[in-house]
Amino acid sequence: MLPEDAAATIGRAASTSFSDYIAAQNPAALPSARDAANHSAGGADLAPHATTIVSLTYAGGVLMAGDRRATMGNIIASRHIEKVFPADMFSVLGIAGSAGIALDITRLFQVELEHYEKIEGTRMSLDGKANRLAAMIRANLPLALQGLAVVPLFAGFDTTRRVGRLFSFDVTGGRYEEQEHHSVGSGSVFARGALKKLWKPNLGEDDAVKVAVEALYDAADDDSATGGPDVVRQLWPVVYTVNGAGARRIPERTLAEAAEDIIASRSVSGREA
């Protein structure tokens, strides 16, 4: 058994926020602790960037999808990067911007939610999760001003309201709840145009998957930084759905069928644009 004074010290150090605890104990370990003075705006092109993420609500939940391409200036840095991750059982996170920093923030956010659940004995509310993520993005502002920005998209199933919800952010940590659908990243303008035409109220899950894949297909058609379905390499978007049963990754076989259906329909119709 710990001495009373040691137990009191540990109790005072305990916090529901893992990132606050790290900031107090070892601030250099945080993603936002990178030395912004060592980076220039032009140097941002040397860091791989993740691009287009789409999210949409459907009957009973919410879906998020991301393409597989990362770019470094005019170079394709990776064709295999994954940009959508489960944050916890009932939420998912998509990243756009500087890939390395975004991945660090994603891992920290996952630990943050797990830590809160262990300390409090309950899950954080969906609004609470979005607020915690906003604080992490705000902490990265000095690097964002140097061109190393991270702009995530966050979605989850609200277990109180029993609906799927999605949130966007800006580089200052501003948090905005979106309705129906949204997209971030370099191809987001084209993806949003597709979502406006394809999304309908009360979509089924299968139809929602097809809408997301087609929106990414349209984004890749006009944005060089967004990777479309790669039939040769058998690379498909990463897609997660979140509903009352939790987060689930859509199998690649389902995504391959959706992509091939899109390609076949456009080939048959002879569509150029």
Catalytic residue numbers, as ranges: 51
Residue that is written with structure tokens 């809408």 in the block:
211
Q: Count the residues in the chain.
A: 273
Q: How far apart are CA 51 and CA 135, in angstroms?
A: 22
Rounded Cα gap, residues 144 and 146, in angstroms: 5
115, two tokens? 């830590």
Q: How far is CA 153 from CA 20, 128, 148, in A?
A: 22, 15, 17
* Per-state percent for the chain, helix, strand, coil, to nearest 5: 45, 25, 30
Strands 97-98 and 153-158: unpaired
CA atoms of 55 and 63, how far apart (whole Å)? 5
Q: DSSP label at 250?
A: P
- Angstrom distance (rounded) from CA 227 to CA 225: 7
Residues linked to residue 7 through DSSP beta bridges, in sequence order:
none
Tokens found for residue 217:
């297909």
